[in-house]
């Protein structure tokens, strides 16, 4: 689908070797952009960007947003920053709140300072649906949030506050994107903090029983990577003054519970291997810090940015499953 895109610009993607960052780097190169990728490879992976290394318009800087000098170096001549670098995962933040805060708050502050001093035209940053916290109002509207339920949620809300303050005091042009349960190609299925879709997909492909936390009635607004790429482009290029300093839900505007998600995964994977249809599902305990339901209103993004999600859950899952089957089986 056609929408306004970043073209012929110099763009920094922090966390550019990660799941979302690498997809952004790859996509940006298709539109004659010069792309700088900053990553410390704590969660990012070289195989995510190895196919980009030979591209003359791609530059990799191995560095850390916790180091202000690395941030300053990576922003030389940069017009747009897409700030994706962060330590994700609610459980990780509960187990290690100090490191989560160092990366997500102190690191983010370094990015803001470097962007201010480098006079970048716009900084688009990854915010999070976890900011809605204990608010049980559905759908989630950008102006109504609750109290955070995890250290991770605290850090992502602090990002929004810092971005607001830098706009207010220094004129830094910042737009935040509250990501809702992003999934898709290159999302890591391994590790203790793997996201639910790649983790379940890999387990089913190996005929292992996925464990659903709780009853499976918890629901999420699962958002395919291509919708996220679209939002980053739109936020980076918009001239609508109503967008300045704002945060926008980045989602589909539909929700599915985990039981339905597993049903779809088994159905789509079953097209490759019908034994997967008979894999048993196990239910475990509820997970700490989890919100029961999440559903975004995307009206603000539609109205101000012209956002129109290209993938609903069924379309996105089908593409994601195809990618995992071809690349990781």
Sequence ranges of the domains in the chain: 10-183+222-254+295-310
Tens of pLDDT, residue by residue over 110-123, are 999 999 999 999 99
State the chain's mean pLDDT as an integer.
94
Mean local confidence (pLDDT), 140-159? 96
Location of structure tokens 């110099």: 10
**What pLDDT is attached to residue 204?**
94
Length reported for the chain = 329
Is pLDDT at 320 greater than 80 in this prediction? yes
**What pLDDT is attached to residue 285?**
80
Output the CA angle 255-259-264, nearest 5 degrees: 80
Catalytic pick from 152, 179, 268, 307? 152
- For 10-183+222-254+295-310, the fitting CATH number among 3.40.630.10, 3.90.1150.10, 3.40.50.720, 3.30.1490.70 is 3.40.50.720
Q: What single DSSP character describes residue 206?
A: T
Is pLDDT at 134 greater than 80 in this prediction? yes
**What pLDDT is attached to residue 115?**
98
152 catalytic, yes or no?
A: yes
Asked if residues 266 and 208 have their Cβ atoms less than 8 Å apart, the reply is no
CA atoms of 235 and 209, how far apart (whole Å): 40
Half-sphere exposure of 175 (CA within 13 A, CB side): 29
Mean local confidence (pLDDT), 40-55? 96
CA atoms of 202 and 67, how far apart (whole Å): 35
**What pLDDT is attached to residue 288?**
66
**What pLDDT is attached to residue 272?**
95
What pTM was estimated for this model as a whole? 0.95
- Give the range among 41-45, 174-178, 260-264, 282-286 with minimum mean pLDDT: 282-286
Would the CA dihedral through 52, 54, 56, 58 be positive or negative?
Answer: positive
Asked if residues 176 and 125 have their Cβ atoms less than 8 Å apart, the reply is yes
CA atoms of 187 and 52, how far apart (whole Å): 17
H or E segment to which residue 164 belongs: helix 151-170
Q: Work out the percent of the chain whose per-residue pLDDT is above 90.
A: 87
Strand-pairing partners, residue 38, are 14, 61
Mean local confidence (pLDDT), 145-173? 97
Is pLDDT at 193 greater than 80 in this prediction? no
More confident residue, 292 or 137: 137
CA atoms of 245 and 249, how far apart (whole Å): 14
CA distances from 86 to 20, 61, 67, 108, 127 (A): 11, 16, 14, 8, 10
Tens of pLDDT, residue by residue over 4-34, are 999 999 999 999 999 999 999 999 999 999 9
Is pLDDT at 213 greater than 90 in this prediction? no
Q: What single DSSP character describes residue 67?
A: S
**Cα 137 from chain centroid?**
23
**Cα 296 from chain centroid?**
15
Q: How confident is the model at residue 220 (pLDDT cuts 50, 70, 90)?
A: very high
CA atoms of 69 and 46, how far apart (whole Å): 22
CA atoms of 212 and 119, how far apart (whole Å): 46
Give the closest residue to 108 by CA, choosing from 57, 63, 163, 153.
163
Q: Could you give the angle at which helices 258-270 and 313-328 cross, rounded to 10 degrees?
A: 50
Q: Could you give the angle at which helices 196-205 and 313-328 cross, rounded to 10 degrees?
A: 50
**What pLDDT is attached to residue 216?**
86
**What pLDDT is attached to residue 289?**
61
Pairing of strands 122-128, 223-224: unpaired
Is pLDDT at 128 greater than 90 in this prediction? yes
Is pLDDT at 89 greater than 90 in this prediction? no
Q: Is the link from the previous residue into 139 a cis peptide, with omega within 30 of 0?
A: yes
């Amino acid at each position: 689908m056609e929408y306004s895109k970043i073209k012929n610009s110099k763009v920094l993607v922090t966390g550019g070797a990660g799941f979302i960052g690498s997809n952004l780097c790859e996509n940006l190169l298709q539109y004659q952009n010069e792309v700088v990728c900053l990553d410390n490879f704590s969660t990012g992976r070289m195989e995510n960007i190895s196919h980009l290394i030979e591209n003359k318009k791609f530059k990799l800087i191995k560095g850390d947003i916790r180091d202000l000098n690395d941030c300053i170096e990576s922003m030389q001549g940069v017009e747009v920053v897409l700030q994706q670098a962060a330590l994700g995962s609610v459980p990780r933040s509960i187990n290690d709140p100090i490191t989560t805060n160092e990366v997500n708050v102190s690191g983010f502050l370094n990015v803001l300072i470097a962007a201010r001093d480098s006079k970048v035209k716009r900084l688009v940053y990854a915010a999070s649906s976890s900011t809605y916290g204990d608010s049980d109002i559905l759908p989630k509207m950008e102006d109504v949030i609750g109290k955070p339920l995890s250290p991770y949620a605290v850090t992502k809300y602090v990002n929004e506050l810092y971005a607001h303050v830098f706009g207010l005091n220094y004129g830094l042009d910042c737009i935040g994107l509250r990501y809702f349960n992003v999934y898709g190609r290159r999302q890591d299925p391994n590790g203790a903090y793997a996201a639910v879709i790649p983790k379940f997909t890999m387990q089913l492909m190996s005929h292992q029983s996925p464990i659903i936390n709780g009853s499976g009635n918890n629901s999420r607004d699962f958002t395919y990577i291509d919708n996220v790429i679209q939002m980053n482009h739109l936020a980076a290029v918009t001239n609508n003054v109503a967008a300045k300093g704002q945060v926008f839900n980045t989602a589909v505007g539909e929700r599915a519970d985990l039981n339905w998600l597993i049903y779809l995964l088994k159905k789509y994977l079953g097209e490759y291997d019908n034994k997967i249809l008979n894999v048993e599902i196990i239910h475990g305990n509820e997970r700490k810090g989890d919100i029961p339901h999440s559903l975004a209103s995307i009206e603000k993004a539609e109205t101000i940015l012209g956002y129109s999600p290209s993938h609903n859950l069924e379309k996105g899952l089908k593409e994601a499953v195809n990618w995992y089957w071809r690349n990781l089986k």
